[in-house]
Amino acid sequence: MGASLMIVEDDDRVRGALRLAMEDEGYDVAEAEEAETALEHLRDHGVPDVMIVDLMLGEMDGFTCIREVRRDHDVPIIVVSARDDTHDVVAALEAGADDFVTKPFEIKEITARMRALRRRARLASSRDDAPDDATEEAPEEVLLDADPDSPLVLSPDGGTVRRGDEELHLTVTEFRVLCELAASPGRVLSRTALLERIWDRGFFGDERIVDVHVRRLRTKIEHDPSDPQIVVTVRGLGYRLDAQR
C-alpha cells in the first residue's frame, strides 16, 4: 500500500482530479467534501501521511479544520486555495498549515510539495520506527538553552525537541527550520536560503512563509516570544540561532 492522503475539497471537479492524479502517484486516497467529515474520518481511521485542505469549505472552513487537526496531530498539511492575498496565506500558515498552493495549479507542483513534506516528516517520526530494544548509539543532542530549570534540547536524528522533561509539539516544518538554524549556530541564514534548504528548489511561494513558521516556532521554544533570545532576527538579512549558555 502506498502513502495515505486525505483530500478535503468541496469542489467535485478539483477533488476528483486530485484523487486521480494522486492515485497515479501511488497514494492511497481518502476524500471529504466537508471539514466535519474529514475530522470524523481521522477519528475513525487514523491520521494520513499527508493532507490537502481547501480553505473555502462548508459550515467549518479550512482554517478551523487545520486548527482542529493540529490540536493532536503533526500530519503535513498543504493548503490548496483560490484565496491568495497575504492575509489568507498568513492565516492558513498561522493555523498550522505547512505549505500553500494557489489555484489554479499544476499537479506536478502539488506532488513535488508533498514529496518534500513527507521527507521532512520521516525525520520527525523516525523515533517512532525504532524498536523498543534498539541498541544504536543515542542520537547527538544540541543544547539550545541551558536554563537550569528547563533546558531546551534538540535531537535532530531523534526528531525531538524537549524543554526540561516536556517534549514540545512542533510541526514537521517548524522542526526542520530549527534543525537548519541549529546546524549553523551563530550564522545568519537568509529567508531565501531557508526556502531553498527546507522547501527545496522549485518553490513557487515567497518569503512570508518563512516568517510565519519562525513566529510559530518562537511561541513554542522561547520564554518570551515577543523578545526572542534563541531564534533572533537580523534585520535585513534573515535569522540566526543564538544558543543560550
Q: What is the CATH number of the domain that holds 204?
A: 1.10.10.10
Mean pLDDT of the 219-228 span: 93
**pLDDT: which is higher, 5 or 1:** 5
Kindly state whether residues 160 and 201 are assigned to the same domain: yes
Which of 76, 95, 125 terminates a domain? The answer is 125
Kindly state whether residues 111 and 204 are assigned to the same domain: no
Kindly state whether residues 153 and 97 are assigned to the same domain: no
Mean pLDDT of the 22-35 span: 93
Which residues make Cβ contacts (< 8 Å) with residue 158, sequence separation at least 6? 126, 127, 138, 139, 141
Q: Which of 6-10, 62-66, 138-142 has the lowest average pLDDT? A: 138-142
Q: Which of 204, 182, 181, 185 is nearest to 193 (CA)?
A: 181
Residue 29, pLDDT score? 95
Kindly state whether residues 118 and 12 are assigned to the same domain: yes
Kindly state whether residues 82 and 139 are assigned to the same domain: no
Kindly state whether residues 18 and 103 are assigned to the same domain: yes
Reply yes or no on whether the pLDDT at 72 is more than 80. Answer: yes
Kindly state whether residues 199 and 141 are assigned to the same domain: yes
Which of 81, 109, 125 terminates a domain? The answer is 125
Which pairs count as long-range contacts for 36-42, CB under 8 Å and 24+ apart, including other chains? Answer: 36/60, 38/6, 38/8, 38/65, 39/65, 39/68, 39/69, 41/6, 42/6, 42/69, 42/73
Q: Which stretch of DSSP H or E encloses residue 36?
A: helix 35-45
Report percent pLDDT > 70 for the chain: 87
Which residues make Cβ contacts (< 8 Å) with residue 102, sequence separation at least 6? 81, 82, 84
- Mind listing the pLDDT tens digit for each residue in 60-70? 999 999 999 99
Kindly state whether residues 77 and 168 are assigned to the same domain: no
- What's 92's domain CATH number? 3.40.50.2300
Report the domain count for the chain. Answer: 2
Q: Which of 161, 172, 167, 171 is nearest to 122 (CA)?
A: 172
Residue 206, pLDDT score? 61
Reply yes or no on whether the pLDDT at 138 is more than 80. Answer: no
> Residue 34 — pLDDT band, cuts 50, 70, 90?
very high
Kindly state whether residues 70 and 119 are assigned to the same domain: yes
Output the pTM of the full model.
Answer: 0.69
Mean pLDDT of the 165-181 span: 89
Find the domain containing 140 and state its range.
Answer: 132-241
Kindly state whether residues 85 and 144 are assigned to the same domain: no
CA distance 54 to 245: 44
Kindly state whether residues 85 and 186 are assigned to the same domain: no
Residue 169, pLDDT score? 85
Reply yes or no on whether the pLDDT at 10 is more than 50. Answer: yes
Return mean pLDDT, the chain. 84
Kindly state whether residues 77 and 15 are assigned to the same domain: yes
Which of 65, 95, 125 terminates a domain? The answer is 125
Q: Which of 85-89, 158-162, 225-229 has the lowest average pLDDT? A: 85-89
